[in-house]
Amino acid sequence: MTVTTNPSETNGVDVATLFATLDAVKAQPEIARFQFRARNSWQGGTHSRSEFSDFHGATQEMEHRSVTAVDSDHPAVLVGQDHGPTPVEYLLHGIAACLTAGVANVAAARGVRLHKVSSTVQGDIDLLGIFGMSDGTVRNGYEQVKVTFHIEGDADEETLRGLVEQSRRRSAVYDALTNPTPVVIDVVTG
């Protein structure tokens, strides 16, 4: 028997607040406009560090509960010092984390109690592209990213698979990767 102290919470998702938030957005669509930010600083060699602190959303400036810093570097085999995962590895975290958050939200909204969700992500890349040694057939980025979910919950297989499918349909990172995302680069010198 499971004792639920907050009847509106499933999978750690406050479903009542989730639906209230959606209602608020329906009433005032401009609160859905967000801007996320990162500040990166070069540490030497191929090593850099980004900080995430503030963002804009719901018509106001907002702060994360705490500032997060993450490091990237190239491994020794790619002539770096391996002070952190490579930049491309963070994309793999992004897709896994986005789909997983969506699975939890969708499951909560559908009343499905999850026991366990894990995933492995593999990104295949031929570095001939970034080395400038391609004959034009090798791209710079991943040839393919594969996400394998392992899901356990109080529902049949079809229902559990449906959670992932709905999460995919609403995933910001899935869209950002599978469809072209405009990236503008400005340079200030001096």
Question: Which residues ranging from 5 to 44 are in contact with a second copy (CB under 8 A)?
Answer: 11-14, 17-18, 21-22, 25-26, 29, 32-42, 44
Cβ(152)–Cβ(114) below 8 Å: yes
SS3 (DSSP) at 164: helix
User: What DSSP designation does 172 have?
Assistant: H
The residue (of 1 and 157) whose beta carbon lies closer to a second copy is 157
Residues of span 155-174 touching a second copy by CB under 8 A: 157, 160-161, 164, 168, 170-174
Residue with smaller CB distance to a second copy, 110 or 147: 147
**Which tokens sit at 8?**
């509106």
Contact status, residue 117 vs residue 103, Cβ threshold 8 Å? yes
Which parts of 45-74 interact with a second copy (CB under 8 A)? 45-48, 50, 52, 55, 57-58, 62, 64-65, 68, 70-74
Nearest distance in Å: CB 136, a second copy: 13
Q: Which is nearer to a second copy, 1 or 120 (CB)?
A: 120
Candidates 111, 113, 148, 154; binder of a second copy (CB under 8 A) is 148
Comparing CB distances to a second copy, the nearer of 1 and 30 is 30
Contact 50, 22 (CB under 8 A): no
In angstroms, rounded to a whole number, what is the distance separating the alpha carbons of residues 103 and 151?
Answer: 10
Minimum distance between the CB of residue 74 and a second copy, rounded to whole angstroms?
6
CB 138 within 8 A of CB 126: yes
Determine the distance from the C-alpha atom of residue 157 to the mean position of all C-alpha atoms in its chain, rounded to a whole number.
Answer: 25
Helix, strand or coil, per DSSP, at residue 150 = strand
| 108-147 footprint of a second copy as x/- string (CB under 8 A) | ------x-xxxxxxxxxxxxxxxxxx-----xxxxxxxxx
